[in-house]
A and B are shown apart, each in its own frame.
Chain A
Amino acid sequence: ELQLVESGGGLVKPGGSLRLSCAASGFTFSNAWMTWVRQAPGEGLEWVGHIKSKTDGGAADYAAPTEGRFTISRDDSRNTLYLQMDSLKTEDTAMYYCYTFFRGGQQGLWGQGTLVTVSS
């Protein structure tokens, strides 16, 4: 079964750090471009960034609000995607989803999300 499961969310103070994980199963993770999307409470979807497969270079790209503070990485041996979040701000409070798209299978796969709350 295709599945993405996020973990690592929680309450953190402004200026703090948190690392989110996204465990993948049911597909060849190493071939997938993986994306992080977030959604602040009551707001719309915001693209956070993505990481390419290693065969496509393995580079990560970021949205402007998170560049320099967030780092996306992957461990293909563990089928796991990561989002390291540093220098957190109150405006980073959101549900964080991981996502991938299978062009050949014509489907998208989302995790259930993990909630990050940045508050003093």
Chain B
Amino acid sequence: EIVLTQSPATLSLSPGERATLSCGASQSVTYNYLAWYQQKPGLAPRLLMFDASTRATGIPDRFSGSGSGTHFTLTISRLEPEDFAVYYCQQYGSSPPYTFGQGTRLEIK
């Protein structure tokens, strides 16, 4: 089972700033099949990125994903008020289980 470790656990930033969220894998993620999700309180998650660097339909271009192998990054270039939420990474490249990271809480400073 691949273990995903997200850092930091909490990130405190102001609107307009740049956010960098990390996701490390215990072993290489096959085909870089890694997704990022955003979740706001009381709502279902929302797919932001898949295959490490492809934005899902309707996701603003201030969101970008990068990385390969065991280290992946989600970058939000200029934070908008609606971006403050919890972010999860998930790998779906190797055999199941398709594990999630523990999440990064992005909070307003």
A→B interface (CB under 8 Å): 35, 37, 44-47, 49-50, 61-64, 97, 101, 103, 105-108, 110-113
Contact A106 B96 (CB under 8 A): no
Contact A47 B50 (CB under 8 A): no
Closest CB in chain B relative to A68 CB, distance in Å: 14
Please, could you name 19 A-B residue pairs with CB atoms under 8 Å apart, sorted by A?
A: A35-B98, A45-B39, A45-B45, A45-B88, A45-B90, A45-B103, A46-B100, A49-B96, A49-B97, A50-B96, A61-B95, A62-B97, A63-B97, A101-B50, A105-B57, A106-B54, A108-B46, A108-B50, A111-B44
Contact B37 A107 (CB under 8 A): no
Residues of B within 8 A of A49 (CB): 96-97
B79 at the A/B interface (Cβ < 8 Å)?
no
Q: How many residues of B contact A (CB 8 A)?
A: 26
Docked CA distance A47–B107 (Å): 25
Contact B44 A97 (CB under 8 A): yes
Among B35, B58, B90, B96, residue most surrounded by chain A Cβ atoms (within 10 Å): B96
B17 at the A/B interface (Cβ < 8 Å)?
no
Q: A46-B100, A101-B47 are in contact. Are A106 and B90 (CB under 8 A)?
A: no
Q: A49-B96, A101-B47, A112-B44 are in contact. Are A44 and B88 (CB under 8 A)?
A: yes
Closest CB in chain B relative to A69 CB, distance in Å: 15
